[in-house]
Amino acid sequence: MDASALYRMMASQHGAASSRQARKVGVTAAHERALIRNGVLRRPVDGVLALAGATPTFRHRCMAAALAPGVVAVSHGAAARVHRLDGFDRYEQIDVIGTREQEPSTDAGIVVHRTRGPVRDHVVTVESIPVLDVPLTLALLAPHAGIGRTAKALDSALRGGHDARRLRRVAAAWRRRGRSGPPALLMLLGERVDKTLPRSWFQRIAKRLFDVSRIRLVDEYEVRDERGVVLAVLDLADPVRRVGVECQSWRWHATPSAQHRDARRRGMVRQLGWEIVDVWWSDLRHPERVLAELRYLLDSRTPAA
């Protein structure tokens, strides 16, 4: 029997296919067993086939786990990595989610999460892998990955254009007694969307820089164009070296038009010779990135005449 159709399918699915898919392209159970005996195929997970020579990459392992009977999709930290969210680029555990009605059949090493929620409404395909969409991934993430890692993933999702309003709707819809992930996401969204960084934070940054570099930063400095029009009010600034710090809030980036307006304004400020360091809520507890970037710019830029 010709198994070329199965091989083509597996090549498009990171080297894996389910036995059910094999039947649909004409590979019988007997033929499947013969291919396994002959070393052409292997069975990484019950009900799933893999090419014997396929490298067990992270995406190959995700694909094989997602095809197992009873599994709905890749989820949690594994889904965050598939979506390329910050903080999960080295995540190796394979997480999958199934429903309470059907017991997923997987091997050891695959973590199975179960839910009664409408999880199938949130399944998307990324590089051929069935995976939870970004909103539900973030809503379920915190209890398993920690609040810090979830915050980093959320920040990258927002930077990538995911609508904070949709993230909030999904988190609110999935909030149930015993589920701590959705409230955590709602809290993180509240910090990023509804609040601005406290003035005391910027004062601490300014003091630390002065202590290290003996450079004083000005609070709430207005950058004006040649006509005197205020283009931006920077939270901190060194007007001599034209280096500024600006707090970013996702509230002002909710629509494409807002993003375009902000990019245009920032471009005009940079045309006047300014370099801007962006500060996000995720920097509040760990300001080292901001300090390092500021030190580099302040040390490397020539004072304006």
CA 119 to each of CA 38, 101, 138, 153, 189: distance values in angstroms, whole numbers, following the listed order: 39, 12, 13, 20, 22
Topology of domain 199-300 in CATH is Endonuclease; Chain A (3.40.960)
pLDDT of residue 150: 94
Determine the pLDDT at residue 220.
85
Please compute the mean of the pLDDT values over residues 236-253 and round it to a whole number.
Answer: 77
* Boundaries of every domain in the chain: 57-193, 199-300
Checking DSSP bridges between strand 48-51 and strand 41-42, what pairing results, if any?
Answer: antiparallel
- Structure confidence by residue, pLDDT tens digits, 30-57: 999 999 999 999 998 888 999 998 888 9
71-85, 118-132, 275-289: which range is least confident on average?
A: 275-289
- CA dist list (Å): 61 to 91, 94, 104: 12, 7, 16
pLDDT confidence of 79, banded at 50, 70, 90?
very high
Share of the chain above pLDDT 90, in %: 48
- Mean pLDDT over 84-103 rounds to 87
- pLDDT greater than 60 at residue 296: yes
Query: pLDDT digit string (tens) for 101-160?
Result: 666 555 657 899 988 889 999 999 999 999 999 999 999 999 999 998 998 899 889 888
pLDDT band at residue 85 using 50, 70 and 90 as cut-offs? very high
Q: Given this model, what pLDDT does residue 5 score?
A: 93
pLDDT at 290: 79
pLDDT band with cut points at 50, 70 and 90 for residue 259: low
Residue 91 has pLDDT above 90, yes or no: yes
Give 236's contacts (C-beta < 8 A, 6+ positions apart). 202, 205, 206, 217, 218, 219, 221, 244, 245
For the chain, what is the mean pLDDT?
A: 86
In the prediction, which pLDDT does 72 show? 94
**CA-based nearest residue to 75, from 127, 108, 110, 44:** 110
More confident of the two residues 27 and 161: 27
Section 176-188 average pLDDT: 89
Q: Which residue has the tokens 């083509």?
A: 8
Tell me the percentage of the chain whose pLDDT exceeds 70.
Answer: 86
Confidence class for position 13, pLDDT limits 50, 70, 90: very high
